Structure 1
Amino acid sequence: MRKLIAALGIVLAVAVSAPIAYAVQPDEVMTDPAKEARARELSRELRCMVCQNQSIDDSDATLAKDLRLLVRERIAAGDSNKQVLDYLVARYGEFVLLKPRFEAHTLILWLIPPLVLIGGGLGLWLHIRRRSRAAEAVADTPVPLNAEEQARLEGILAETNPKA
């Protein structure tokens, strides 16, 4: 049993400490480390059009590889990061960016989450407020006794106060 636990511990330690595997192939890597770092940074900001919720840096799709190579070609040609992103947005649309830009046509994307959060908080606050008011109204309203309860109360009062 101890050997099994030790083996599981080793496997878990290796899995946790293993470097993150990226989809970038050795033949894609640029010789200049600074340019390669820029390419990797840009690749993490771009969406794989096949996988859609994954960056091209992490995707194994053929289109992602083509996009990674295109990014590296543009960097090698001397484009800045903004120029590379602008080129890809012009070619593939705003959807290619994992994090859309804050512009007039993407304003709704940026405003919906806080508005939903504020609306949900407001709705929860109103719900709690209504429930507490309803509970107070019920607690303040005396409930009349039925005939059986009234007779029992009178009997108890007669036993405790025989003179009355």
Structure 2
Amino acid sequence: MIKRFLLAVVLILAAAPAFAVNPDEVLSDPSLEARARALSAKLRCMVCQNQSIDDSNADLAKDLRLLVRERITEGDTDKQVLNYIVSRYGEFVLLKPPFNVRTLLLWGAPALLILAGGVSLIIFVRKRAGQPTGSKLTADEQARLVELSLD
């Protein structure tokens, strides 16, 4: 009994992202719908920002899903649909922005941060290596050291 309940919960949770696309949005042609879903997965929800418009329940995401389907039914290619949406919302709407001069900092920032951290760590370690550790010898310890070195 518990296994069946857990299986039902897992199946419901696995289908959760599919709940974002409403039945009234689905195109009647399965091939066009597949294209629309593939394009929607590439576009960022401007409200949620970490979800594609395919996964988001926001009103703006719904409007963008409808716009994608409208452009597809008008005969646009996938590239034309993406270009149309990017021209209106900017490259931020793409979940994976292209690598170009404008997005160079976006793509290079992780490498720059790792490099800066590594250089900072090397500088910190070298500064600490030149500094003495511990405290100065007391007069008794200094005298004992002199005694030992004379022997």
Q: TM-score, normalised by structure 2?
A: 0.77
Q: Which residue among 74, 78, 88 is the counterpart of 1:77?
A: 74
2:124 is matched with 127
Q: Distance in 2 between matches of 1:35 and 1:148?
A: 87
- Mind listing any 5+ residue stretches in structure 1 that lack a counterpart? 1-5, 158-164
Q: Distance in 2 between matches of 1:126 and 1:32?
A: 62
Distance 1:124 1:16, change over 3 A: farther
Distance 1:50 1:147, change over 3 A: closer
Give me the CA root mean square deviation: 3.0
* Structure 2 SS opposite 1:105: helix
Distance 1:148 1:38, change over 3 A: closer
1:95-148 per-position Cα deviation (integer Å, ceiling 9, x unaligned) = 2112222222222212222111111122122222333343xxx37xxx655147
Q: Which residue among 36, 50, 69 is the counterpart of 2:33?
A: 36
Counting only pairs closer than 5 Å after superposition, residues 1-164 of structure 1 correspond to structure 2 as: 7=2, 13-17=7-11, 18-21=13-16, 22=18, 23-134=20-131, 138=132, 144-147=137-140, 150=143
How many residues are paired up?
144
Q: Distance in 1 between matches of 2:10 and 2:129?
A: 49
Q: Distance in 2 between matches of 1:148 and 1:41?
A: 77
Q: TM-score, normalised by structure 1?
A: 0.72
Q: Distance in 2 between matches of 1:132 and 1:13?
A: 58
- Mind listing any 5+ residue stretches in structure 2 that lack a counterpart? none
Q: Distance in 2 between matches of 1:11 and 1:119?
A: 51
Which protein has the larger Cα radius of gyration, Structure 1 or Structure 2? 1
